Amino acid sequence: MRSIIAHITQEDPFLAEMVDLPKSTDTCVEFFNPRLRDGKPLRYASPGMSSLIFPMHRVMFIEVMASEEERAQVVEFFRERGN
């Protein structure tokens, strides 16, 4: 599972997991364990819900979060102080 932040048209971004990233031919996308960034449940989700399926035309973009292994390999940018 990949951790993501989903940006849906006219909705606040939310955290979720995805099994696979969407392909260009997909017409909808499924998000597992969706929740607000602070961990609270989504206002439009029913209690006990485990996944949401949105049509692709509602998805503005998806931020894919780096896994722990990927974070260890990422070189962060830094700025040296000039004299």
Amino acid 82 reads: G
Total Cβ atoms within 10 A of residue 33: 13
Instruction: Judge whether 1 and 17 are in contact, CB under 8 Å.
Output: yes
Query: How much is the pTM?
Result: 0.78
54 domain-assigned: yes
pLDDT for position 14: 96
- Tally the domains of the chain: 1
Dist. CA 32–CA 16, nearest whole Å: 6
27 domain-assigned: yes
**Helix/strand/coil for 74:** coil
Per-residue confidence band for 48, with pLDDT thresholds at 50, 70 and 90: confident
Per-residue confidence band for 31, with pLDDT thresholds at 50, 70 and 90: very high
Question: Could you tell me the CA-to-CA distances from 11 to 39, 43, 47 in Å, in that order?
Answer: 16, 10, 19
**pLDDT, tens digit, 9 for 90 and up, residues 9-28:** 999 999 999 999 999 999 99
Q: Is the pLDDT of residue 79 over 90?
A: no
Residue 62's domain comprises 2-73
pLDDT for position 30: 97
